[in-house]
Chains A and B, each alone.
Chain A
Amino acid sequence: MTARGSVRPRPASSFELYSWFFMRISAIIMVLLVGFHLFYMHLVLSVDAINFEVISGRWSSPFWRLYDFFMLTFAWLHCTNGVRIVIDDYVHTQGWSVFAKAILYLFAFIVIVLGSYVVFTFQP
């Protein structure tokens, strides 16, 4: 960056690079998946029209189950990684930072498991 001939030090781990890349890739995928989801569920249908029967009908096709699984996984990992970055930005005490991230990852795990469980095991 500067003309002093100094080289920016290479980070010890490439985790942040993969994190950055994942956010971009999941963003592009979600623009399509979430874009259509919101368009269809809120504009073509409406919140009032959605009930057990509608979702059950949707999951009679493996396509929509996979669609929902990918949407939920990408969205929730993107969300979790976003909150991790927010914690890094605002929580400077190491103990609190570890504590907040532990809760975040535990919560992320529970939500992914619950969501995937229903998408794959649901029987009408």
Chain B
Amino acid sequence: MAAFADWFRAVTYRGREGQIAWMLHRITGLGVFFFLALHIIDIFLMSFGPELFDSLLFFYHQFLFKLSIVFGLFPGVLYHGLNGIRVVAIDFWPNLGKKQAMLWRIQMIVFVIAYIPSAIIMIRSMFGTH
């Protein structure tokens, strides 16, 4: 309960867009770290030949994993990338810093525009209509 209260205080701290942007950047970054470790190690298994590699693909082809790509990995990388562009832009052109909140809102509109059709394509292919 105390943990929940701490968590609630943390996310409702009045940092507005900048705070939300930073929190999402950190959470998605850590998520991608763990996925990428798994992904590089699984590609390393290519060196053991097709029998072993293809026999392990069931892990990536299971429904739950594909679901976590559509609703976890893909939006996570997309957000981290878009927010990263905004951070880089503000660092290299500090005047943009005054507009960081508006830039974040624009970025989230771009996120939705890019994510929705991508998610539809991936969900359709999960049900064999690719």
Residues of A within 8 A of B (CB): 20, 24, 27-28, 30-31, 34-35, 38, 42-43, 46-53, 55-56, 68, 72, 75-76, 79, 82-83, 86, 107, 111, 114-115, 117-118, 121-122
- B122 and A42 form a contact (CB under 8 A): yes
Q: Does B95 contact A (CB under 8 A)?
A: no
- B50 and A31 form a contact (CB under 8 A): no
**Contact partners of A35 in chain B: CB under 8 A:** 81
- A31 and B69 form a contact (CB under 8 A): no
Number of interface residues of B (CB under 8 A): 36
Residues of B within 8 A of A (CB): 26, 29-30, 32-33, 36-37, 40-41, 43-44, 46-47, 49-50, 53-54, 57, 60-61, 66, 69, 74, 77, 81, 84-85, 87-88, 91-92, 118, 121-122, 125, 130
**Contact partners of B44 in chain A: CB under 8 A:** 114-115, 117-118
A48 to B127, CA, bound (A): 11
- A53 and B77 form a contact (CB under 8 A): no
**Contact partners of A117 in chain B: CB under 8 A:** 44, 47
Q: Closest residue to B40 on the A side, CB-wise?
A: A115
A121 to B43, CA, bound (A): 13
Minimum CB–CB distance from A4 to chain B (whole Å) comes to 22
- B122 and A43 form a contact (CB under 8 A): yes
